[in-house]
Structure 1
Amino acid sequence: MTNTYTRTVQTIGLLGTVVAMSLQAQTPQLPSRSHRPSSRIICDEPKWDFGEVEDKSVIKHTFVLKNAGKAPLKVGRIHPGCGCAVVKMDHKTASPGTSVRLTVELTLRGRRGPMHKTIRIESNDPLTPRFPLHVNGTVYTMAHMEPSLAVFHSVHAERSTEKEVRLISRKPGVNIARARTDSPYLTTTLRKDPDGRCVRLVVSTIPPLPQEPFTGDVTVETDDPELGPLRLLASVSVLREVTVVPRRITLARTTEAHVEQAIFILPGSAKTFRILAVEVPVGALHVATRKQKNGVTRVDIGQLQGKHAIDRGVVRIVTDLQRMRTIDIPIELLP
C-alpha cells in the first residue's frame, strides 16, 4: 500500500509540473517597463556664472540641451525662476542624439548683490522630469545709498526723528548735490564730512505725524551727471498714543447666546489716560472698566447678543487723549 501511495503522489506532482509549464508557455511575455526606450536630457554646462555686471545691463546666455536617450525628448513648461528672466527655446522636441538651444535674457535693473537663480525645465525624461539650470553672478551699481531703506519704527508722533544714509560710489570724488522727498512728513538735510566731502544724507520726520504707517520716496542727485538720480525709500510707523486689542469684534449673526467681550487698551506714547465713556450697541447690557498692571485698561462689555447687534456698528470708547479722543472698534456679524 505504501508503494502505491508513493507512486500516486509522484504522478500527481509530475502532472502539476507539466500543467504549470504549459500555462507558462501560453502566457505572452510583456516587455519590461524598465527596458522601454526613453528620453534623457543632459547639458554639458548646466551652470552659467556671469561674473560681476552693472545693474544697467541686459545680459544673455544660451544653454545647449541634448537628448541622450533613445526616444524623442518633449519639453513642457519652463520655469525661469524670477521676473527678471526671459527664456526662449528654439525647439520643444529633440530626436535621440540631437540638441535644442535655450536662450536666457536677464534684465538686471533694480538688482544688487549676489544673484542665484534656478531655471527648471519640465520634460518627458523619466529620470529628471524637472531638469535644473543654474545662473550665478554679482550685480553692482556705480552708486547707491546705503541703506537703501530708511526705516522709522514706532516713532513718536510729536517728535522729530532722523535716520542717516550714506552715498556709496565706485567712482572717486562723487558728492551728494541735492535731495528731495515727496512726503509732507519728511525732510532731507545734507551733512558734510570733516574733509569737506558730502556723502551723508539725513532724513527726518516732521511732526505731528499721522497715526497710520506711511512711506515716502527720496530722490538723491549727485554732482556727477553720468550717474543719474538715486532712489531711497523711507518707511515710517508711528507709536500710537494707545494700542487697542482687539481691533475688531466678530459675532455670529443668528446666535442667541450672550457673549462677554473684553477690550484691552495698552499705553503707547501716552503713559497715562482716562476712559471717559464707553458707547455700546444694542444688545449689550453692562460695561465695566478697570485698570490693570503696566497701565493697561480693561473694558468688559457684557451680554453682547449677535441677533440684536447692528452689523457694521461700533463700540466707541471716549478718552482724554490728545489725538485719540474717540476709539471706534467695529462689529462684524458673521453668517
Structure 2
Amino acid sequence: MPATSSMRATVSVLACFCAAAAAAAPRIVCDRPALDFGERDEGETVHAEFVLRNVGDAPLRIDRLRPACGCTVATLDQPLLAPGSQTVVRVDFTLRGRQGPQSKSVTVQSDDPQTPYLTLWLNGIVTRELALDPPYVNFGSLAPDAVVEREVRLVSRRPEIVITNVVSDHPRIAVAGGGVPASGARSFALTTVPPLEPGQTRATVTVLTDHPSKAALRVFAVAYVPPAVRVLPAEVLLQRSAAAPVARTVVLYPGAASNFQVLGIDNPLPGVQVACQPASGGSYRLDIRDLRPAPEFDGCVIRVRTDLPTRPDIEIPIRLID
C-alpha cells in the first residue's frame, strides 16, 4: 500500500508538470498597432516603428512580415523573442504618386497560437504642394456636335501660386476662353469643339504656373463619339488553307444613329452571295455565302449603302489570313 500511494503521488506530480509545460506559449502584443503620420507631402517617405513584445511564457518566433503593397518596406530587428523581451518593426512607406487619405498595413506572422497574424497599420493623408484636380478629364460618350465643359482646379498649399497659361495639343478639346486665364486664376475649363470625329479624341493639356520649381503640370482629357453604326465583325477573315467555300455573318447595329435603313449592297465578289435582312433592335444581318480564299478576294470590300448622311457607305473588307 505505501508503495502504491507513492506511485500515485509521483504520477500526480508528473501530470501537473506536463499540464504546466503544455500551457506555456508565446504571446505577441503591440501596444500601438496603428500609427498616424498626419499630413505629409507626396515627395516624402514615412518612417515608422512598431514595438512588438512577447508577454507569454515561451519563446516567440516571428516568421514573416508581409506589407500590403510594394510601396511599403518592413524590416525586423530580432525574429526570436524570449519571454518578456521586445523587438522593433521598422516600416518605410513611399508616398510618391499618392494623394489623399492613405491606409497601409503590414501583417506579422508568428508562432503565437492565439494571434498567428497581427496586423500593423500606418494611416495618414498625402498632399501635394501643387496638383490638378481632376488629373484626368473624361467627357464620356458624346454626339459629334456636343459642346461640353469640364472644370479643372489648381490645388496647392500655397495660395499665392496661380495659373499663367493653359495649352491643349488637340483642336477638338480646347481651353475655354482661349487658354490665358484671368489674373490670379486657380481654375480653368476644358471644352469640346465640334465636329468630333467618331471614336476617341485624346488631348494632353499643359498648365503653366508661377511656381518656382513646378512650373508645368499636365492633365489628360478624352472624349468618345460612338460610330453611327457598329459593324461586328468589322472585317471578314478567311483562312488561306480553307478547302471548301465558307459562310460568314456580319451584323450592323445602331450606334449614334438610333434608326437607319440599308438601301443596297455593292458586292464585287463573283460567285459570292450576300443577303441582307432586318434583325431585332433596328439592326441588319448580312449573310455572306460561298466565300472562297481566292487571292483576288484579299482586300476586296463589300459596300453597304445606307440612308445616313453622316455614313452613307459602310465598307466591310475581306482579308485572307494564314
Q: Which residue matches 1:190?
A: 179
Distance 1:146 1:36 in 2: 58
Identity of aligned residues (%): 28
TM-score w.r.t. the length of structure 1 is 0.68
Greater displacement, 235-244 / 125-134: 235-244
Change (3 A) 1:111 1:323: farther
Q: Which residue matches 2:3?
A: none
Which residues in structure 2 correspond to 1:43-62 (within 5 Å)?
43-62=30-49
Distance 2:157 2:312 in 1: 49
> 1:54-96 CA deviation, whole Å, 9 max, x = no partner?
2222221111112233443333342222332222222333333
Secondary structure of the residue aligned to 1:144 is strand
* 1:42 CA displacement: 1.4
* 1:176 CA displacement: 0.7
Assess if the C-alpha contact under 8 Å between 1:43 and 1:65 holds in 2: yes
Change (3 A) 1:114 1:281: farther
Distance 1:278 1:103 in 2: 73
* 1:224 CA displacement: 2.8
* Larger of the two Rg values belongs to structure: 1
Change (3 A) 1:262 1:182: closer
Distance 2:195 2:256 in 1: 16
Assess if the C-alpha contact under 8 Å between 1:286 and 1:303 holds in 2: yes
Greater displacement, 76-85 / 201-210: 201-210
Which residues in structure 2 correspond to 1:306-321 (within 5 Å)?
318-320=304-306
* Residues 1:80 and 2:40 are matched in the alignment: no
Assess if the C-alpha contact under 8 Å between 2:65 and 2:75 holds in 1: no
Secondary structure of the residue aligned to 1:220 is strand
Greater displacement, 265-274 / 36-45: 265-274
Number of aligned pairs? Answer: 294
Distance 2:85 2:272 in 1: 78
* 1:303 CA displacement: 8.1
TM-score w.r.t. the length of structure 2 is 0.70
* 1:141 CA displacement: 2.2
* Residues 1:96 and 2:117 are matched in the alignment: no
Distance 1:151 1:163 in 2: 9
Assess if the C-alpha contact under 8 Å between 1:210 and 1:238 holds in 2: yes
Assess if the C-alpha contact under 8 Å between 2:33 and 2:50 holds in 1: yes
Match of 1:299 among 281, 285, 300: 285
Distance 2:302 2:20 in 1: 72
Assess if the C-alpha contact under 8 Å between 2:164 and 2:181 holds in 1: no
Q: Which residue matches 1:16?
A: none
Change (3 A) 1:209 1:167: same
> 1:285-307 CA deviation, whole Å, 9 max, x = no partner?
763322656xx2221538899xx
Assess if the C-alpha contact under 8 Å between 1:284 and 1:303 holds in 2: yes
Distance 1:111 1:279 in 2: 56
Assess if the C-alpha contact under 8 Å between 2:66 and 2:106 holds in 1: yes
Which residues in structure 2 correspond to 1:87-166 (within 5 Å)?
87-157=74-144, 161-166=148-153
What amino acid sits opposite 1:274 in the alignment? V
Q: Is there any run of 5+ residues in structure 2 with no aligned partner, and where? A: 1-10
Change (3 A) 1:326 1:112: same
* Residues 1:287 and 2:275 are matched in the alignment: yes
Change (3 A) 1:285 1:187: same
* 1:44 CA displacement: 1.0
Distance 1:230 1:202 in 2: 15
Distance 1:266 1:302 in 2: 20
